[in-house]
Structure 1
Amino acid sequence: MRRYQLSNGLTLIYEKKPAKSVSVAILVKAGSNYENKDVYGISHFIEHMLFEGTMKRKNSRDISNEIEKLGGEMNAYTTTDRTVFFVKILGKHFDAALDVLSDIMQNSVFDAKTIEKERKVILKEIDMVNDQPRFLQWIFFNKNLFSRHPAKNPAYGSIQTVGKISRKDILSYYNKYYVPNNLIISVVGNVRSLKLKIEESFKNFKYKKAPKYKKTFEFANKRKISVLRKKLINSYMVFGYKTFPRLSKESYTLDLILGILGRGQSGWIFDEIRNKRGLAYEVGVNHEASVDYGHFAIYLNTDKKNINQIKSIILEEFKKLKKINAKEINEAKTFIEGQFLMENEDNFQLADKLAFWELIKDAKLLNDYIKN
């Protein structure tokens, strides 16, 4: 893996792989954790707007067609701590992909009429999330898990805040955070003269001081039970804890626990709740660890009459971890290693992970993950 710091402050990560495809991820250090309360959802709003037209490509179809006509795929996502734009395409079309990505990053026009059109799209997206319990359960969980940390807020904002975000707000936020020294470009594949191509594509992107993210650390809460009542056949439950940031030693331990409790259909939680007792259909375990926060949670859907029994089962499985043997630990390590290495065979997955670890501290830490 090679890491370059360009003269304008842009960070370039390159992992050379002998493959027909190449993946490019452009990470912007701006997500919902960076927003003030009046513009919650603005990072996600800008993510949408960068697909809506530049001086060169007038609308979203012009942008997407440039990639799709070559057999590639292009998309983006916004989280609490980052916004990521990515393309996966055949290596021989890399230059075309770079031209599109560099264009939307630097030359988006943020047309007023298009902003209003896209506002409607985002408001529909929020309605859709609120209508789907599988998504809504996580929004409700984070809102109740965190008290001060901005991770309690959904990345897409709220109907109230998105409804008020103005073009002036968008331009101000974009000009503040979409600067080269606040970007990480991660490329995985086989590209000749990559550094020169990136430098040429972003030569007019000038260094500008960007606000630093202010970390927020929260200690564990007291036990809390929160209920959101909706007319549903099944009940959706998330049972979880506030945990540690990604760089902490404990977060690696929690990954190992995930490999024990949540290893597909053979993990302890799935085995006890579904295989042995048939108390739920969908059962899973999730560990999220980011720059300055983390959570560990079990999620499922079941009949409401089963909830108390399931909570007791979950607590019992946690207690059993105190008596875990070496064989079970080694199996969990083997599971984690297998998942990690197979995911990294996918160019996009690897490009995305390298950008994330560079955001956290250093992309090279990804190579030490299994060791840790």
Structure 2
Amino acid sequence: MEKVILPNGLTIIFEKKESNSVVVEVMIKVGSNHEPEEERGLAHFMEHILFEGTEKRPTNKDISNEIEKVGGDFNAYTTNERTCFHVKVLKKHFHVAVDVLADILQNPLFDEKILEKEKKVVLKEIDMVNDEPRYYQWILLNKTLFQKHPCRNPTYGDKKIIQNLTRKKAINFFKNKYVPKNMVISIVGDVKDWKSEVKKNFLLKGGKEAKLPAIVEPSQKKNLVKKARRKIINTYLVLGYKTVPRRHKNSYVLDVIDGILGRGQSGNIFTEIRSKRGLAYDVGTESVAEKSFGFFAVHATIDKKNVEVVKELMLKELEKLKTISVKDLREAKDYIEGDYLLELEDSQKMADQLLFWELTKDYRLMKEYLKNIKKVTSADIKRVIETYFKHYAMIVIEGK
């Protein structure tokens, strides 16, 4: 792995990998957590509008065709803490990937008519998320679990702000955030001219890195329950707990807990709730550790009449972790190792991981992850359960 910072402040991380393909991914270090109240949803909106035309490629079709005519693919996503654009092509078309990404990230048109059209698309996306319980349960969890941290605000933003968004406001957000010091590019593949190609195409200057203000999230003193109703048959249940950001050593312990409880069809939660009792179809766990926040959740899709039964089973499985067996601990670590290394065989996943760890602290920590997992002991698991799993936020989305 190699890291280079260009004179304009742009960071490049290169991982040589023998493959026919090359992945180029650009991370802008801005997400919904960085948005003041009057700009909620603009980071996500940028993800949409930047594919809609540049001076060189005036339409969405012109942009997509540039990649697709050489057999490549591209996409983008927005999280609480970053916005990423990635392209995968054959390595002989590496220059095409860099050229297109540089173009959309430096020369967007922000055409007035297209902007109005894309606002409608984003508003429909917000409605879709709110209508779909398997997505909305996570929106509701963050809103209930966190009191002050901006991760409590949905990444998709605020409908009124999107509706009233002007071209001028969109351009101002873009000019302030899409600057070299706020960008990191990861390249995974077997290409030689990566540094010169990026330097030739990414010509932006100035700007500064987006920073989050210091936030003191209050500790939770009691269990919280939030219910919502939808025109649905199933009931969606989530138990969530505030935990720690990725840089905290306990984040690795939480990943091992996730491996014990939630791995595939052999995790303890799946076994107890679905395999033994048939109380759910979809059931699992989530361990989330981002740069500035973290949470752990247990979730299940069940019949309304079984909410209390399933909740008690979830709590029982968490309690049982205080006396975890050597066998269960070893199997969880082996699962995480296999899952992690197999995922990194995918060049796009590796490019994404390099950016995640660089945002968190240092891209080289990607290679240290499994060492930190292997250090976790049964005593660590007991300590973490006793520290972070005292009070939950319970989300229930049920039929009207």
Deviation for aligned residue 1:113: 1.2
Change beyond 3 A, Cα 1:325–1:219? farther
Q: Give the Cα separation in 2 of the matches to 1:38 and 1:345.
A: 41
Q: Give the Cα separation in 1 of the matches to 2:250 and 2:208.
A: 34
Deviation for aligned residue 1:363: 0.3
Moved over 6 A (4+): none
Q: Deviations over 1:28-87 (max 9, x none)?
A: 011000001122100011111110100000011100110011111111000000000000
Matches within 5 A, 1:24-173: 24-173=24-173
Q: Give the Cα separation in 2 of the matches to 1:210 and 1:13.
A: 17
Cα RMSD over matched residues?
1.0
Q: Give the Cα separation in 2 of the matches to 1:300 and 1:59.
A: 43
Q: Deviations over 1:149-173 (max 9, x none)?
A: 1101111112222112221211111
Q: Secondary structure at the match of 1:228?
A: strand
Deviation for aligned residue 1:212: 2.1
CA contact (8 A) 2:123 2:162 kept: yes
Q: Secondary structure at the match of 2:227?
A: coil
Q: Secondary structure at the match of 1:328?
A: helix
Deviation for aligned residue 1:310: 0.5
CA contact (8 A) 2:29 2:210 kept: no
Q: Deviations over 1:97-118 (max 9, x none)?
A: 1110000011111111111010
Q: Give the Cα separation in 2 of the matches to 1:248 and 1:68.
A: 41
CA contact (8 A) 2:34 2:210 kept: no
Q: Aligned residues: percent identity?
A: 51
Q: Give the Cα separation in 2 of the matches to 1:257 and 1:321.
A: 8
Deviation for aligned residue 1:291: 1.1
Q: Secondary structure at the match of 1:227?
A: strand
Q: Deviations over 1:212-261 (max 9, x none)?
A: 22242424322101001222111111111011000101100000000100
Deviation for aligned residue 1:211: 3.8
Which has the higher mean CA deviation after the structures are superposed, 214-223 or 142-151?
214-223
Q: Give the Cα separation in 2 of the matches to 1:336 and 1:209.
A: 37
Deviation for aligned residue 1:27: 0.2
Number of paired residues? 371
CA contact (8 A) 1:274 1:280 kept: yes
Deviation for aligned residue 1:197: 1.0
Matches within 5 A, 1:10-21: 10-21=10-21
Gap regions ≥5 residues in structure 2: 373-400
- TM-score normalised by the chain length of structure 2: 0.91
2:201 counterpart letter in structure 1: S
Q: Give the Cα separation in 2 of the matches to 1:128 and 1:209.
A: 35
Q: Secondary structure at the match of 2:62?
A: helix
CA contact (8 A) 2:40 2:157 kept: yes
Residue matched to 1:311: 311
Deviation for aligned residue 1:207: 2.4
CA contact (8 A) 1:217 1:293 kept: no
Q: Give the Cα separation in 2 of the matches to 1:299 and 1:38.
A: 33
2:258 counterpart letter in structure 1: L
Which has the higher mean CA deviation after the structures are superposed, 118-127 or 218-227?
218-227
Q: Secondary structure at the match of 2:157?
A: coil
Q: Give the Cα separation in 2 of the matches to 1:28 and 1:215.
A: 20
CA contact (8 A) 1:217 1:292 kept: no
Q: Is residue 327 from structure 1 mapped to residue 327 from structure 2 by the alignment? A: yes
Deviation for aligned residue 1:326: 1.4
Q: Give the Cα separation in 1 of the matches to 2:216 and 2:278.
A: 39
Gap regions ≥5 residues in structure 1: none
Q: Secondary structure at the match of 2:246?
A: coil
Q: Give the Cα separation in 1 of the matches to 2:233 and 2:247.
A: 40
1:87 counterpart letter in structure 2: V
Residue matched to 2:281: 281
2:112 counterpart letter in structure 1: A
Q: Give the Cα separation in 2 of the matches to 1:161 and 1:135.
A: 21
